[in-house]
């Protein structure tokens, strides 16, 4: 039979009895239909009919072969109260009017439900009552009345049944979230057939399960059969009435005044007033607030509102200290020689909740043997009035870094070259879609080279030029676009980064070039081991300073080579593969292989610094290493060989870029 379209859904604010209002807490497993829905009158009618049957049955002894009276049959655990038995000569099923049913199959269903009631059986009232229950519990009949008729052949027991109506339509009220097709699929094959309470019970359980699987608080709170074979279901869905914020003291747990503006928290929530209460959605909101970095603990507690189906959400927040000073150290990959090669110290001040609006202020200073970096960053993670979660970052930086990646090399009469940069920029970032985000920015850079005495230099000791303009400094205004895809926060998950930078020659002496870079990574689980494949590449076109060339080789490039020792070019490509396996505790072992090439573009860099230093332009390395998890990230110690039979140790903090 094809599906019927006689299914009507109505969304209405039906006020339900307090006993039927759903709890805002996870609902228990659906109860039996007789306990959860208003069909209890059937059970009461059965009990009343059984009492009437007991009153009308004649008290006659059961015919037996011997003349001795049979021992009384008792029931109950305490053995009290004997029940009399009555011999039944005939058992029949009829309609409510005593006539045969129009549908013989219904009569057969009722007869098949009988267990104790058989012709020529001696029955008690309790056994008849149990069979009446069995007929009704078959789900096809709305009532069953046992009638005892005294005939000349003996007692005739007739079960007068009233079948349910044929199903002709459905009215569902209050199901604002439940798809109409869900119930259409459940009832379409039943159109024109007799309503089966057992089937209805299964549908109600499946509806309740639909809400539970999606973290929603909703259930079928009432069901009835209307005239004309129309089923009416009332669904109660918990609705968010109000959301309030309460700050708690970190030490005592008592309510206190918070520093964060309430609207800063509320705008992070996807749960809104008037929406259905969704436990999964509330859990995601808790995680979102924690990622803001200004809360130490977040809990959301639902509280019922009177006798309605609404809930109030109370958000308990424990704030973290908003700011402070820190100091530490690290390693610079630009310096590879000397007893303290690459060691740097750092000092920083940060405030993670400026004005109580989740704005971030970071001020840091890093100082090493040669390099130094001063940074000032101010970030607004979500601009006021924007509904796309756009963030804004203002950045100022003054740095001096070693030029050894491109212009390195030993020379008895010259010290190392350093590159000084003064940078200021403005960037806007926002998510495009799940797992995708993008950044637009405008950055101004004033950069030049200095010798070991701190004097400006335009050529190195190989007579290779150090600036693109031929002046002491190059000025560049860069327009930047970057798009990032991340599958998850795990390092071995898929990741793709595409970046474009365009130099804008607003003034004639400002540089104009275009730089495109891309990085991708993909991890695979292979039994207890993990395979991680990564690749990166890029190209620069236009007039650019040599120190902006792509440097190949080193801890985060081709291991087995010093930093930048493979080459430097306008173009590059680097590929890497590594297999890691947990050894014990936080210790992890790794086997790796890397390959990198400047794609023949080394001579195209102004001054050809790679050719002047005899760099090969391509090379590979392989080796083994160990990693240890730490609060700073994984500590990496690796021993690598390269294709020129050289070997070296590499030490790094954090994952490879």
For the segment 228-287, what is each residue's pLDDT rounded down to a tens digit? 999 999 999 999 999 999 999 999 999 999 999 999 999 999 999 988 899 999 999 999
245 and 371 share a domain?
A: no
Where is average pLDDT lowest: 66-70, 243-247, 299-303? 66-70
In a domain, 518, yes or no: yes
pLDDT in tens, 75-89: 444 444 567 888 999
The total number of structural domains in the chain stands at 4
Task: Give the model's confidence band at 10: pLDDT under 50 very low, under 70 low, under 90 confident, else very high.
Answer: very low
CA distances from 192 to 105, 201, 227, 379 (A): 15, 18, 14, 65
Contacts of 197 (CB under 8 A, 6+ apart): 33, 39, 139, 140, 164
Where is average pLDDT lowest: 171-185, 333-347, 616-630? 333-347
141 and 230 share a domain?
A: no
Mean pLDDT over 218-234 rounds to 92
Domain ranges, residue 210 = 165-237
Q: Can you give the pLDDT at residue 345? A: 85
Q: Can you give the pLDDT at residue 327? A: 86
User: Residue 483 above 90 pLDDT?
Assistant: yes
Q: Can you give the pLDDT at residue 22? A: 41
Mean pLDDT over 100-110 rounds to 92
In a domain, 624, yes or no: yes
Choosing from 237, 265, 293, the residue where a domain stops is: 237
**In the chain, what percentage of residues exceed pLDDT 70?**
84
Find the CATH number of the domain harbouring 225.
3.10.20.310
In a domain, 211, yes or no: yes
310 and 389 share a domain?
A: no
Task: Tell me whether residue 139 is exposed, middle or buried, using C-beta atoms within 10 angstroms of its C-beta: 0 to 12, 13 to 18, 19 or more.
Answer: middle
pLDDT in tens, 132-142: 999 999 999 98
457 and 355 share a domain?
A: yes
User: Residue 27 above 50 pLDDT?
Assistant: no
In a domain, 50, yes or no: no
220 and 184 share a domain?
A: yes
Mean pLDDT over 546-567 rounds to 95
98 and 138 share a domain?
A: yes
pLDDT in tens, 163-185: 999 999 999 998 988 999 999 99
Q: Would you give the DSSP letter of residue 465?
A: B
Task: Give the model's confidence band at 47: pLDDT under 50 very low, under 70 low, under 90 confident, else very high.
Answer: low
Q: Can you give the pLDDT at residue 8? A: 38
In angstroms, rounded to a whole number, what is the distance separating the alpha carbons of residues 325 and 348? 6
Where is average pLDDT lowest: 38-42, 279-283, 564-568? 38-42
In angstroms, rounded to a whole number, what is the distance separating the alpha carbons of residues 441 and 616? 36
Contact 458, 465 (CB under 8 A): yes
In this structure, the number of other CB atoms found within 10 A of the CB of residue 78 comes to: 7
User: Residue 106 above 60 pLDDT?
Assistant: yes
Closest CA to 417 of 310, 340, 334, 534: 334
301 and 440 share a domain?
A: no
Q: Would you give the DSSP letter of residue 544?
A: -
Choosing from 219, 237, 255, the residue where a domain stops is: 237
Average pLDDT over the chain, rounded to an integer: 85
What is the rounded (10 degree) CA torsion for 499, 505, 507, 511? 80
120 and 222 share a domain?
A: no
Find the CATH number of the domain harbouring 378.
2.40.160.50
In a domain, 377, yes or no: yes
User: Residue 26 above 60 pLDDT?
Assistant: no
260 and 392 share a domain?
A: no
Q: Dihedrals φ, ψ of 304, to 5°?
A: -60, 150
Could you tell me whether strands 239-248 and 255-256 are parallel, antiparallel, or unpaired per DSSP bridges? Answer: antiparallel
Q: Can you give the pLDDT at residue 595? A: 98
328 and 305 share a domain?
A: no
Q: Is pLDDT larger for residue 23 or for residue 582?
A: 582
User: Tokens 């971030």 belong to which residue?
Assistant: 360
Instruction: Please give the structure tokens belonging to residue 497.
Output: 């980064």
Instruction: Please give the structure tokens belonging to residue 332.
Output: 């610079």
Tell me the three state secondary structure of residue 35: helix
Angle at 102 between CA 101 and CA 108, to 5 degrees: 55
CA distances from 45 to 133, 140, 142, 146, 190 (A): 10, 16, 10, 11, 27
CA distances from 404 to 330, 427, 621 (A): 18, 29, 20
Contacts of 50 (CB under 8 A, 6+ apart): 125, 126, 128, 129, 132, 146
409 and 483 share a domain?
A: yes
In angstroms, rounded to a whole number, what is the distance separating the alpha carbons of residues 415 and 406? 14
Q: Can you give the pLDDT at residue 312? A: 95
Choosing from 102, 129, 163, the residue where a domain stops is: 163
Q: Can you give the pLDDT at residue 340? A: 52
Where is average pLDDT lowest: 21-25, 231-235, 503-507, 542-546? 21-25
In a domain, 567, yes or no: yes
User: Residue 192 above 50 pLDDT?
Assistant: yes
Closest CA to 640 of 583, 569, 565: 565
In a domain, 358, yes or no: yes
Q: Can you give the pLDDT at residue 80? A: 47
Rg, the chain, Cα only: 41
In a domain, 499, yes or no: yes
344 and 459 share a domain?
A: yes
CA distances from 279 to 112, 216, 289 (A): 46, 6, 16
Q: Can you give the pLDDT at residue 342? A: 62
């Amino acid at each position: 039979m094809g599906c019927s379209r006689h299914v009507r859904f109505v969304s209405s604010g039906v006020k339900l009895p307090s006993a039927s209002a759903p709890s805002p807490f996870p609902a228990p497993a659906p109860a039996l239909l007789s306990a959860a829905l208003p069909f209890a009158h059937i059970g009461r009618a059965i009990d009343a009919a059984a009492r009437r049957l007991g009153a009308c049955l004649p008290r006659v002894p059961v015919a037996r072969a011997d003349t001795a009276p049979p021992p009384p049959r008792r029931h109950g655990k305490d053995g009290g109260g004997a029940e009399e038995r009555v011999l039944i000569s005939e058992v029949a099923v009829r309609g409510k009017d005593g006539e045969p049913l129009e549908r013989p199959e219904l009569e057969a269903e009722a007869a098949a439900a009988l267990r104790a009631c058989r012709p020529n059986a001696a029955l008690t009232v309790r056994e008849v009552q149990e069979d009446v229950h069995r007929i009704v519990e078959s789900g096809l009949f709305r009532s069953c009345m046992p009638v005892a008729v005294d005939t000349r052949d003996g007692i005739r027991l007739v079960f007068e049944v009233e079948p349910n109506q044929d199903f002709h339509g459905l009215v569902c009220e209050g199901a604002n979230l439940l798809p109409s097709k869900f119930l259409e699929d459940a009832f379409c094959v039943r159109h024109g057939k007799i309503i089966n309470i057992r089937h209805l019970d299964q549908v109600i359980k499946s509806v309740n399960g639909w809400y539970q699987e999606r973290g929603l608080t909703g259930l079928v709170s009432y069901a009835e059969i209307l005239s004309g074979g129309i089923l009416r279901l009332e669904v109660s869905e918990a609705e968010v009435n109000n959301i309030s914020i309460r700050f708690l003291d970190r030490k005592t747990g008592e309510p206190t005044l918070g520093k964060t503006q309430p609207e800063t928290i509320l705008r992070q929530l996807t749960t809104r007033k008037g929406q259905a209460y969704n436990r999964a959605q509330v859990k995601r909101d808790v995680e979102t607030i924690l990622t803001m970095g200004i809360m130490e603990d977040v809990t959301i507690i639902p509280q019922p509102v009177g006798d309605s189906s609404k809930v109030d959400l109370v958000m308990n927040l424990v704030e973290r200290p908003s700011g402070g000073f820190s100091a530490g150290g690290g390693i610079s990959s630009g310096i590879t020689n000397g007893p303290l090669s690459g060691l740097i110290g750092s000092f920083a001040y940060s405030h993670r909740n400026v004005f109580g609006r989740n704005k971030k202020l970071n001020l840091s200073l890093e100082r090493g043997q040669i390099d130094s970096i001063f940074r000032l960053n101010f970030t607004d993670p979500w601009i006021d009035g924007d509904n796309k979660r756009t963030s804004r970052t203002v950045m100022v930086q003054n740095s001096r870094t070693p030029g050894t990646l491109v212009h390195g090399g030993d020379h008895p009469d010259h010290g190392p070259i350093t590159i000084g940069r003064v940078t200021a920029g403005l960037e806007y970032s926002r998510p495009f879609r799940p797992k995708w985000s993008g950044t637009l920015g405008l950055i101004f850079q004033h950069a030049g080279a200095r010798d070991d005495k701190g004097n400006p230099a335009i050529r190195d000791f190989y007579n290779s030029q150090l600036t693109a303009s031929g002046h002491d400094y190059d000025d560049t205004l860069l327009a930047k676009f970057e798009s990032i895809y991340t599958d998850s926060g795990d390092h071995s998950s898929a990741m793709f980064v595409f970046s474009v930078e365009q130099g804008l020659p607003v003034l004639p002496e400002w540089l104009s070039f275009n730089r495109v870079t891309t990085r991708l990574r993909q991890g695979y689980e292979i039994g207890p081991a993990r395979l991680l494949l990564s690749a990166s590449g890029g190209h620069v076109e236009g007039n650019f300073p040599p120190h902006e060339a792509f440097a190949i080789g080193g801890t985060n490039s081709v291991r087995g080579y010093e930093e930048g020792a493979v080459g430097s070019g306008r173009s590059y490509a680097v590929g890497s593969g590594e297999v890691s396996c947990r050894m014990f505790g936080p210790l992890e072992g790794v086997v790796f292989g890397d390959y990198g090439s400047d794609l023949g573009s080394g001579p195209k860099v102004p001054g050809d610094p790679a050719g002047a230093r005899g760099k090969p332009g391509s090379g590979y390395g392989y080796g083994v290493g160990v990693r240890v998890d730490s609060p700073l990230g994984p500590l990496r110690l690796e021993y690598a060989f390269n294709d020129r039979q050289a070997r070296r140790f590499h030490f790094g903090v954090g994952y490879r870029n």
